[in-house]
Structure 1
Amino acid sequence: MRNRYMFAAILTAICCIAAIVYALHIWQDKKPQPKQNVVRRIMTPRKPIQKPNATQKKKPKAKPKVPEQPFISGTITDTEGNPMTDVCVSNGIVCMLTDSLGKYQLPKDSTARFVYYTVPADCEVAVHSAKDRTAHFYQPIVKGKTKYDFTLKKLPGGAETSYKMIVIGDPQVTNAFNPYFNTADDNHVEISDVERFATETMVDIRRTIRSLPQGTPVYGLSMGDDVQYYGGYNPLLERQIREVLGSSEMRLFSVIGNHDQDGNPEYLHKWEENWGPTDYSFDRGNEHYVCFNNVHFYGKYPSYYSPGELSDRQMEWLRQDLSLTPKSKKVILCYHIPLTFGNNPFHKAQPLNIASEKGHYSSSRLSALLSMLLEFKGGYELFCGHTHFAINHEINHDGHHIIEHCHAAACGNIWQSNINICGTPNGYYVYTFKNTRLTSCYYKGTFWDVQKQMTLFCADTDFNGESYAADWNLPHKRGIIIANVFNADSRWRITAEEDGVEYPMQRINSRGQDAFATGYHRKYAMATSYHFISKQNSYLIMNHLYYYEPKNADSEIRIIARDPYGHTFTESAEEITVEPFHNYAHYYKEE
């Protein structure tokens, strides 16, 4: 029994000791511990690894963003894939030549609308289509696109040594049906301007091209005012006239005129949509043609400067273009508004100081342009339109004699007759270039014989209240003969042969009017005012009228006109027009 009590006491003691030890351990854990420099790692629970499902697609890795390039570039090759070196490329602001690999690089500019090249002389002029042979040498600049390549087709025989250039002044088709007389009575018909241009001007141009020796290279140039939005805006009009202009065998370029834009951005963009850049260049033969927009509008109701002007940026572009052009070439500047005369000038324009052309000015840019042009050994020519009268305008400027070729309008007085306000018939010009020489130029009246380069009148004839004698203070009742020689200038020799003896005719060269054209339009014109076609138009300069007073009333007389290219044109005095509304002004003869 005693042993049993002792065992119980020992077991109780052991339990007490164990309880004391456990209590001491718990107290030690709860006792504050000294701080230690221990880096603790916070562990995040891992997601369970999932095996890819066959039906699930892996997300593509995001491509690193490539910074937008500050330039546009491209390569120009021929149809065989060979690089085209030294081809001038431009965005209308900067010009550069392609390198030995045919590559180019131009700085980006938010105002640039096209990238384009100067058509080399030994390459074909690319066209819009086989049926629309208007030039297509450009690409519109598209947002996000930086590479623009071109492929050129070499001419089989290399650069042409001789070619024809047909120059068309102011097609100026409108969206109206202008009254037009195609019979000898006064019953007018309504024929659209586009239809008249297609069935008259372009039909005659195709005949002229067919009359040339087979294989003759022929090109065309419209001097602007392809359209006029008289009669309401027609967004298809610019495309219509482009396709008609491109309907012959000639490959055709155009400059932009004032009526193509009229200070309206929508009109300007419509022209660009159909024709491309307004400032560009191209080569044919040994000539370098530079076309630019010299119409600059100002004021709330847009007016434009006359003579024409260029902006500082255009002048810089032109300097770059000409600096990259071989100085052996002839340069032909092409634009709409004359640079050598005009009476709505920019404030820096210079007066002509010609007594017979009072109120006229030359462009403020003429001196700078002349200094650039004089660097070229092949010389230069100045081509324009705009006026609706023919004139090879001559002035002396900075010690140099300048001739500016101002081309009569294909539309005449805007499709209401067959004559311009200077009496020149509706028509176009045919130039011949050989190497750097202008070897021939003649005016081709629509449906007129190519040899007919003048019309004759009697100074006393009353043309609906107008007469040459009254206009130019000529003696009355003396039988004075007036010759209107369409393309004449100071280099021509105009004589009257009376009874076999030649006498010089006197030239009229002054502001004024043509009595026949003024009398006709005074009665029939509706699209323009009498002011525009009369002596009240201070813009109108006549310099291709000549007069002669016969020695005897019964003499046989013929007028002889010799141009500077060796051609002679004659007209008998028996062909003098005495009817106020002769059929070539009122309607075309049946062919």
Structure 2
Amino acid sequence: MMDNRRSFLKKLGLAGSLLSAPSLLKASPFAKKGNIDVSSITLRGRVHSKGKGIAGVAVTDGINIAQTDKNGEYELLSNATAQFVYISVPSGYAFPEEKGIAAFYKPISKAAVVKNDFALDKLEVDDRKHHFVVWADPQVKNKSDVEQLVKQSVPDLKELVKSLPAGTLIHGIGCGDLVWDELELFEDYKKAVALTGVPFYNLIGNHDMDLEARTDDLSAHTFKQQFGPTYYSFNRGDIHYVVLDDVFFLGASKNYIGYITENQLQWLEQDLALVKPGSMIVVNLHIPTYTGQGRRMKKKEDEPGGTVANRKQLYKMLAPFKAHIMSGHTHFNDNWEEGDIMEHNHGTVCGAWWTGPICGDGTPAGYGVYEVDGSDIKWYYKGTGMTKDKQLRIYEKGRVKEYPDEISANVWNWDNKWKVEWYEDGVLKGEMQRRVSFDPWAAELYLGPQLPVKRKFVEPNLTDHMFFAKPTGQATKITVKATDRFGNIYEETI
């Protein structure tokens, strides 16, 4: 048989190379020290509260998921490529934290069996009622930006907490771009969070990556040192929260796309399999899955780094549930809804990169506030330094140059269930007309190559939440009345 095989291979001209393969394999660089270690590791431990085991807690290495048994014990077969073992904190328990940063994970040491326990404190209040805030894009570049974060945003959140009933549960989502490429400022961001007194879960943005990394796999190295895994879940009350990393680094500085990797999606399949269909899911990611920006700019396709390329796969996985998606990245405020999915693309903590009081679409620098009661969620946008009742801004006639005879109003957290009406001298004139337009103040602050002085790249954004009306020449007072989907009424008068 060997002679026949040798004869056949000679005809193909391959006999020499294939028959000498064993010696080549011995010399292969892949056999040298430094190759990827995929040796098996067994993860073991216990999840408990004051020594009493907690059953049914999801424990993961980011690849597979196990649940704790009746004694709170878990065992999970892993391998040496895994970096963390972490839990999906169950409802009814306080979020473990370290100076305001969620601490739900343990680094995996190099050993055949790795043992890690997780201690949780049982809440003394019903967590089916709680609040959370979404801080999108704090994006500090230098100590001046940090100072604004500490002196403006931190006190504002502290005042919000103070305004809530005593004992109200509240947590934060740091929705990516925590810093602006200067990764040493992660420490300053963490100090700011600690000052708020609110525990924060954090996720990675395109400005939180190691830009010298050679692949996406390595781009989150520094972020992981500071905040742990880049995708995970947790629970509070009847809500299941999921955090994803949808920034895919293309191996060159500032070159990325919106994309959710297969590793995350297969992990998410396992995670959602443990959640009862029909439940409310809150998905948090940096790059929005979708916005109206491409349509507003009349582009046939979205910018690769502006939305998530494989978003429809995520939507399919969310189909058995009700879902709210929380995103940042764009520095404008944009809401869309289809079926049981709604996405909130938030205005930013930094406004237009700490250059002025508003984002490029006229939304105030600020953050989203969400009030949870069971599986019901209500929300509003909180402008920094503003009360919750400030939800719109009116501009006098002619401020928008394209419509010189019309007054305009920016209703920045508008969605399709809002109603925006106007009154002339106390008489209801009907609903205002919504148009795609620039916010005039944003245009005055940011439009053109010389504005703003601090960071000249900032430009205004077209938005869907500008409204227009044409008053008579005799009008002395114009009032705009905006009613949100929850029946809250907001009025402004000029």
TM-score bracket for the superposition, by shorter chain length: 0.7 to 0.9
Question: Counterparts of 2:114 and 2:334 in 1: how far apart (Å)?
Answer: 46
Pairing 1:334-349 to 2, within 5 Å after superposition:
334-341=284-291
Task: Check conservation: 1:71, 1:105, Cα contact below 8 A.
Answer: no
Show CA shifts across 1:263-282 (max 9, x none): 44487222111111000111
3-state SS of paired residue (1:296): strand
Unaligned residue ranges in structure 1 (runs of 5+): 1-67, 178-191, 344-351, 462-467, 535-539, 574-591
3-state SS of paired residue (2:190): helix
3-state SS of paired residue (1:367): helix
Among residues 47, 69, 90, which one is paired with 1:99 in the alignment? 69
Equivalence for 2:382: 444
Equivalence for 2:156: 204
Task: Check conservation: 1:174, 1:227, Cα contact below 8 A.
Answer: yes
Task: Check conservation: 2:288, 2:328, Cα contact below 8 A.
Answer: yes
User: Structure 1 residues 165 and 234, CA, compared in 2 at 3 Å: closer, same or farther?
Assistant: closer
Task: Check conservation: 2:349, 2:367, Cα contact below 8 A.
Answer: yes
Question: Counterparts of 2:137 and 2:223 in 1: how far apart (Å)?
Answer: 14
Question: Counterparts of 2:297 and 2:154 in 1: how far apart (Å)?
Answer: 40
Equivalence for 2:441: 516
3-state SS of paired residue (1:259): helix
Equivalence for 2:452: 525
Equivalence for 1:544: 465
Letter of the 1:208 counterpart: L
Equivalence for 2:14: none
CA drift of 1:324 comes to 1.4
Question: Counterparts of 1:404 and 1:98 in 2: how far apart (Å)?
Answer: 33
User: Structure 1 residues 528 and 358, CA, compared in 2 at 3 Å: closer, same or farther?
Assistant: farther
3-state SS of paired residue (1:108): strand
Equivalence for 2:243: 291
Among residues 344, 361, 372, which one is paired with 1:433 in the alignment? 372
User: Structure 1 residues 300 and 79, CA, compared in 2 at 3 Å: closer, same or farther?
Assistant: closer
Alignment of 1:457 onto 2:389 = no
Task: Check conservation: 2:296, 2:462, Cα contact below 8 A.
Answer: no
Letter of the 1:500 counterpart: G
Among residues 304, 308, 316, which one is paired with 1:363 in the alignment? 308
Task: Check conservation: 2:291, 2:334, Cα contact below 8 A.
Answer: no
Alignment of 1:571 onto 2:492 = yes
Among residues 326, 329, 334, which one is paired with 1:383 in the alignment? 326
Pairing 1:85-124 to 2, within 5 Å after superposition:
85-124=55-94
Equivalence for 2:105: 138
User: Structure 1 residues 387 and 234, CA, compared in 2 at 3 Å: closer, same or farther?
Assistant: closer
The alignment covers a number of residue pairs equal to 446
Question: Counterparts of 1:355 and 1:227 in 2: how far apart (Å)?
Answer: 28
Among residues 111, 116, 122, which one is paired with 1:154 in the alignment? 122
Question: Counterparts of 1:243 and 1:152 in 2: how far apart (Å)?
Answer: 24
Equivalence for 2:432: 505
Task: Check conservation: 1:262, 1:302, Cα contact below 8 A.
Answer: no
Equivalence for 2:21: none
Among residues 272, 275, 278, which one is paired with 1:322 in the alignment? 272
CA drift of 1:365 comes to 2.5
Question: Counterparts of 1:445 and 1:205 in 2: how far apart (Å)?
Answer: 10
Letter of the 1:320 counterpart: Q
Letter of the 1:425 counterpart: P
3-state SS of paired residue (1:393): strand
Among residues 556, 566, 569, which one is paired with 2:477 in the alignment? 556
3-state SS of paired residue (2:53): coil
Equivalence for 1:469: 401
Unaligned residue ranges in structure 2 (runs of 5+): 1-37
CA drift of 1:560 comes to 0.3
Alignment of 1:80 onto 2:55 = no
Identity, in percent, stands at 32
Alignment of 1:490 onto 2:457 = no
Show CA shifts across 1:531-562 (max 9, x none): x414xxxxx44111111111343242210010
Question: Counterparts of 1:174 and 1:355 in 2: how far apart (Å)?
Answer: 29
Question: Counterparts of 2:324 and 2:46 in 1: how far apart (Å)?
Answer: 30
3-state SS of paired residue (2:445): helix
TM-score (norm. length: structure 1): 0.71
Letter of the 1:456 counterpart: I
Q: Which moved more, 1:89-98 or 1:197-206?
A: 89-98
Equivalence for 2:23: none
Letter of the 1:110 counterpart: A
Question: Counterparts of 2:454 and 2:340 in 1: how far apart (Å)?
Answer: 37
Q: Which has the larger radius of gyration?
A: 1
Task: Check conservation: 2:210, 2:221, Cα contact below 8 A.
Answer: no
Equivalence for 2:12: none
User: Structure 1 residues 302 and 427, CA, compared in 2 at 3 Å: closer, same or farther?
Assistant: closer
User: Structure 1 residues 234 and 500, CA, compared in 2 at 3 Å: closer, same or farther?
Assistant: closer
Show CA shifts across 1:484-526 (max 9, x none): 1121111100010123332100112x4x533311221245525
Letter of the 1:333 counterpart: V
Question: Counterparts of 2:284 and 2:183 in 1: how far apart (Å)?
Answer: 27
Letter of the 1:384 counterpart: S
Q: CA RMSD in A?
A: 2.4
Equivalence for 2:193: 245
Question: Counterparts of 1:569 and 1:505 in 2: how far apart (Å)?
Answer: 14
Question: Counterparts of 1:69 and 1:278 in 2: how far apart (Å)?
Answer: 23
Task: Check conservation: 2:100, 2:190, Cα contact below 8 A.
Answer: no
Task: Check conservation: 2:242, 2:283, Cα contact below 8 A.
Answer: yes
Show CA shifts across 1:164-221 (max 9, x none): 111111100112x6xxxxxxxxxxxxxx111110110010110111011111111111
Letter of the 1:443 counterpart: Y
Equivalence for 1:392: 335
User: Structure 1 residues 168 and 354, CA, compared in 2 at 3 Å: closer, same or farther?
Assistant: closer
Question: Counterparts of 2:295 and 2:332 in 1: how far apart (Å)?
Answer: 22
TM-score (norm. length: structure 2): 0.84
Question: Counterparts of 1:519 and 1:100 in 2: how far apart (Å)?
Answer: 63
User: Structure 1 residues 193 and 87, CA, compared in 2 at 3 Å: closer, same or farther?
Assistant: same
Alignment of 1:416 onto 2:360 = no
User: Structure 1 residues 459 and 94, CA, compared in 2 at 3 Å: closer, same or farther?
Assistant: farther
Pairing 1:204-283 to 2, within 5 Å after superposition:
204-229=156-181, 233=182, 235=184, 237-261=185-209, 263-265=211-213, 268-283=220-235
